Structure 1
Amino acid sequence: MELALAGRTALVTGAGSGIGRAVAVALAAEGMRVALLDRDRGGLEETARMLRSAAAPCLIVTADVTVEGEVSAAVDTVVAWSADVHTVVCCAGISGPVGEGIEQTSRADWDAVFAVNVTGAFLALRAALPALRAADAASVVLLASDSAAVASPGMAAYCASKAALVQFGRALSVDLAPDGIRVVAVSPSVVDTPMSRSDLAADDGFDTAGFPVQGAEEVAAHVAYLASPRARAVNGSALVSDFGYSARSGFPA
């Protein structure tokens, strides 16, 4: 299906690696101009090389999504590059402590997870709102997780932050509907990225016998569709991409 994204502009946070990089590549392949935001300059440059090798226009903006001034300055740079911003995709995220009970989770770790996963999206979207309002058929896509609905042992901070992100998107979809801005989320299960390999001690690859793992490019394809004007009826919801895991009873321990 033609997604009607050619000539439009997207801002992708967390574009230096993983899902964010895959999303940037997917949107560029659909003909979008893509602004790449991350705090990892080296990662951004690698993503930009991938896009430019396919003759896709892109812009690098380095910022920490938890620092309001850096985010605002980055968005100003994007708007100067492309006055209209049609889509913002919030992929910046961290997992925080993995395998720790709440007693072992420090306040600093808890705050860090929410600062990146939730506040980072809030800051990016708030800064980009004037540009989104000026664009036609604008959209926002939040990268959540099936952990928003299905608890994972030892990941209370991460699960809570992703649930907050989904509800943030639902609330925003109501607030921004009068402006013609759609807000949706994608909730994948385990995705093969450097972060998940590190979290799950799977540096040599995942054993998928017990649970299917998807590639970042599969999640990026969902994002591209949801960002498109073709998905104009989809608003205020989260696309759960987890092989039906959250629909089953008797989850594995």
Structure 2
Amino acid sequence: MSSVAIVGAGPGLGAAVARRFGREGFAVGLVARDRGRLDLIAEELAAEGITARGFPADVRRPEELAAALDRLADALGTVEVLQYSPVPHRDFMRPVLATGPRDLVGPIEFSVYGPVAAVQQVLPGMRRLGRGTILFVNGGSAAVPHPERAGTSIAFAAESAYGRLLHDRLAGEGIHVAQLVIPGAITVGHARKDPDVLAQTLWTVHRERHGFRHYADDLDS
């Protein structure tokens, strides 16, 4: 059995993606800092017949994140799908002229070091399988920098570049790398940004394996 690893799993998008992939037979590994929240989501998924377990880790600690993903693969099977979608901290979103070097440490750890650590951990398993999908989920500032959200704008740009490089390099190995940009807030009941709708979008990206950047909604919405 192979698994889907959802880094930054929470009760909204993470749980919806877990259900969507779980219905297709994937075992689900949930990664986030809060063990209690992970256990609750895993229990809810288990009640629906989905194999799921939580693996606590802080994405700003690369060794901790890699170790969690290693435990996940041992427990649930090789990671075939990696989704990296933690929600950035609010203090990453400072105006550009009020952003100094130290203010960028957190965003870079969150959106560059974390993704690199996660990918490096799961990539050997994907290569052994001969297939895989890596999904980066970002806010709108990944595509259009926002002057009031300098930290995430800068870090998301770096994450986007990393993802695109992976997309180009790994396509020939059967490993698809893609990015979903979600402008604005994820909103229950929204036609395009409801968690279940976004989960279906991510499933479609995984299945169709076409292109790098995808948009959940119009950027000016």
Structure-2-length-normalised TM-score? 0.88
CA contact 1:170–1:183 (8 Å) conserved in 2: yes
In the alignment, which of 186, 209, 214 is matched to residue 239 of structure 1? 214
Structure having the larger proportion of residues in helix: 2
In the alignment, which of 161, 165, 175 is matched to residue 171 of structure 1? 165
- Mapped to 2, the partners of 1:192 and 1:138 lie a distance apart of 26
- Mapped to 2, the partners of 1:115 and 1:242 lie a distance apart of 27
Match of 2:47 in 1: 53
Choose 113-122 or 88-97, whichever is displaced more: 88-97
Match of 2:141 in 1: 147
Match of 1:20 in 2: 14
In the alignment, which of 84, 89, 95 is matched to residue 90 of structure 1? 84
Match of 1:120 in 2: 114
CA contact 1:9–1:85 (8 Å) conserved in 2: yes
CA contact 2:183–2:219 (8 Å) conserved in 1: no
Partner SS state of residue 86, structure 1:
strand
Q: CA deviation at 1:127?
A: 0.8
Closer, same or farther in 2 for the Cα pair 1:132/1:156, shift >3 Å? same
Partner SS state of residue 245, structure 1:
coil
Q: CA deviation at 1:98?
A: 6.8
Closer, same or farther in 2 for the Cα pair 1:95/1:69, shift >3 Å? closer
Match of 1:221 in 2: 200
Runs of 4+, deviation exceeding 4 Å: none
In the alignment, which of 54, 59, 64 is matched to residue 70 of structure 1? 64
Match of 2:104 in 1: 110
CA contact 1:140–1:182 (8 Å) conserved in 2: yes
- Output the amino acid matched with 1:13: V
CA contact 1:93–1:116 (8 Å) conserved in 2: no
CA contact 1:91–1:143 (8 Å) conserved in 2: yes
**CA deviations over 1:184-205 (Å, ceiling 9, x no partner):** 0100111236xxxxxxxxxxx9
Where do 5+ consecutive residues of structure 1 fail to align? 1-6, 194-204, 247-253
CA contact 1:98–1:154 (8 Å) conserved in 2: no
Choose 36-45 or 102-111, whichever is displaced more: 102-111
CA contact 2:131–2:173 (8 Å) conserved in 1: no
Percent of paired sites with the same residue: 25
Partner SS state of residue 15, structure 1:
coil
- Mapped to 2, the partners of 1:223 and 1:60 lie a distance apart of 21
Q: CA deviation at 1:95?
A: 4.3
Q: CA deviation at 1:141?
A: 0.5
CA contact 1:16–1:41 (8 Å) conserved in 2: no
Closer, same or farther in 2 for the Cα pair 1:165/1:79, shift >3 Å? same
- Mapped to 2, the partners of 1:180 and 1:99 lie a distance apart of 36
Q: CA deviation at 1:37?
A: 0.7
Q: CA deviation at 1:106?
A: 4.6
Choose 158-167 or 52-61, whichever is displaced more: 158-167
- Output the amino acid matched with 2:220: Y
Where do 5+ consecutive residues of structure 2 fail to align? none
